[in-house]
Structure 1
Amino acid sequence: MAGDKQGLIDRTMHAAALRRWARAARAAKETDLPELRAQRARARRLKTHLDQLIHVADNRLALPVLGNQSFPRPHDADWAWRPELWCGPLPVPGLSSVQSKSMLGNEVTLFHDCAHSEITLRQLRNMREADLAAFGLRLDVFKFDGSYLSLAVDLPEIASQGLKRKHLIRLNTILEMEKRIEIFARLNIKHGPNTEQVVRELPLHQDDVVVEFDLAYTKLNEKRVERMWLDLIFEGPQMNQIILRDLTLSRRKRAEL
């Protein structure tokens, strides 16, 4: 009740201030010059604060919404997901000289075999009007003396529940890079003592990169599915900056023949 009362008082005072300034504006042509000068000084002070508020509000309201899980997905998808790194701010936003098996957040892990790491990972705020994800991931690679570099994304448990060989898993991502390299996506499915792997090369000539993993061609034991994870494998990554503006996954059943 106290909050409602305070809100009513604020609205009443705001309405009264609007009426007062509206009257002053209408009467400005006839107002005595000393009073008009005083009104102008007060109006300028008020305008400074209003301009600052509008500027900050315009910038903040133009940014993608934190925690946003909205993105294009197949109409018949029975599961769809955007990892936490692309949704909201992480407690630790970045890592430098990243060692293998280092995690950024709870779902993303970097793997490599460099003797000396010159790799950085950083979460960055998406600022573009077209972005739906609130955050992106920037990967900077300088000298690279290893033989492999991959980024693993752990999928939530619900993604594995009820998984069948008739399912298609779709990956959507938006990528930017300083120079074009080959990037492969590998879906890993652990079932019992075995792990099925399906590999796709990302079609980087597209702005919105889409690949699908068809489980029909695997030897998946549907009764023993335990978990899934995705690997992004970067070929020849040295002296490059790669930004993943968004990354989403969805699951749907293949149409019956």
Structure 2
Amino acid sequence: MSGKSNSFLDRLVQGRMLARWARAARLAPGLERAQLRQLRADAQAMRREIDRVLFTAGERLSAPLGGGDGIERPLGCDWAWRPELWRGPVFPQGIAAAESRAMIGREVTLFHDCKVSELTLRQIRNHGPQDLAPYGLKMDVFRFDGSFLSLVLDLPDAAVRGLRRNHLLRLGLTITLERPLEIFCRLNVKHGPNTEQLVRELPLAGGESFVEFDLAYTKINEKRVEKAWVDIIFEGPQMNQICAQDLSFARYPRAEI
């Protein structure tokens, strides 16, 4: 595809494609099951590519004009990351009566043990002058009859590539609460058949808070690290609105003494 996305040829191809899918939508109610199954597969493949374009466009168009991502990078930082939910539009954008293991986007999963879910999750657009991330996550918790509530973020492969015991992992979180509650962050690193865990309580003093996970306190086998994920655990979340305007990670080596 040429750089001239508004050329006559591009507009002609796009018009024909839109007409094709409009016709498919009209015919879908009367198709045989085999035809409908193939049409669904074609539509899903098309939607994956469209979603990629929409996410990239939303991420770039909502980024600050001056460039940069606003992630604090300590000295020697060799990896920094903001999950997609805080960078660009995700699907689904909201979930009502969210069940355990419900996902918002591809990287954030909700876990709880409520018998009746009165939880809602929704991606929001940040507009505050101090906001560094273009998007945020709002969670409303009403009656809560469970014993635990957590959000789990799967870290990308780049987070564990070259991971060493002299690394620190910094989790920065900008969060506002309707009512005070305790928040704990747990880093999980799987290496071979074992999983190491580090737990830190998030200090909530307004604005951005952060915790640091020092891998020197683990026994990870550096040659067998496979994956890592973080649990954000909310204690006593009932009747609360939790808004995470930003979340980011940075990895850097511990200062030598």
For 1:188-214, what per-residue CA distance to the aligned partner results, in whole angstroms no more than 9, with x for missing partners?
101111110000000012421011000
For 1:59-82, what per-residue CA distance to the aligned partner results, in whole angstroms no more than 9, with x for missing partners?
xxx965499733222131000000
Name the CA shift for 1:148/1:100 in 2 (closer, same or farther; >3 Å): same
The one-letter code of the counterpart of 1:182 is: E
The number of residue pairs the alignment matches comes to 198
Q: Secondary structure at the match of 1:85?
A: helix
Name the CA shift for 1:141/1:108 in 2 (closer, same or farther; >3 Å): same
Q: Which residue of 1 aligns with 2:165?
A: 165
Kindly, what percent of the aligned residue pairs are identical? 58
**CA distance in structure 1 between the aligned counterparts of 2:127 and 2:62, rounded to whole angstroms:** 6
Contact 2:135–2:245 under 8 Å retained in 1: yes
Gaps in structure 1 of 5+ consecutive residues: 4-61
Q: TM-score, normalised by structure 1?
A: 0.74
Runs of 4+ in 1 over 3 A off after TM superposition: 62-70
Gaps in structure 2 of 5+ consecutive residues: 5-60
Measured after TM superposition, the shift of residue 240 of structure 1 is 0.2
Contact 2:63–2:69 under 8 Å retained in 1: no
Q: Which residue of 1 aligns with 2:219?
A: 219
Contact 2:91–2:104 under 8 Å retained in 1: no
CA-based RMSD: 1.9
**CA distance in structure 2 between the aligned counterparts of 1:244 and 1:192, rounded to whole angstroms:** 33
The one-letter code of the counterpart of 1:191 is: H
For 1:93-119, what per-residue CA distance to the aligned partner results, in whole angstroms no more than 9, with x for missing partners?
000100001110000000000000000
**Superposition pairs of residues 53-202 of structure 1, within 5 angstroms:** 64-65=63-64, 69-202=69-202
**CA distance in structure 2 between the aligned counterparts of 1:256 and 1:159, rounded to whole angstroms:** 21
Q: TM-score, normalised by structure 2?
A: 0.74
For 1:129-181, what per-residue CA distance to the aligned partner results, in whole angstroms no more than 9, with x for missing partners?
11110000001100000000000011000100110110000011100010000
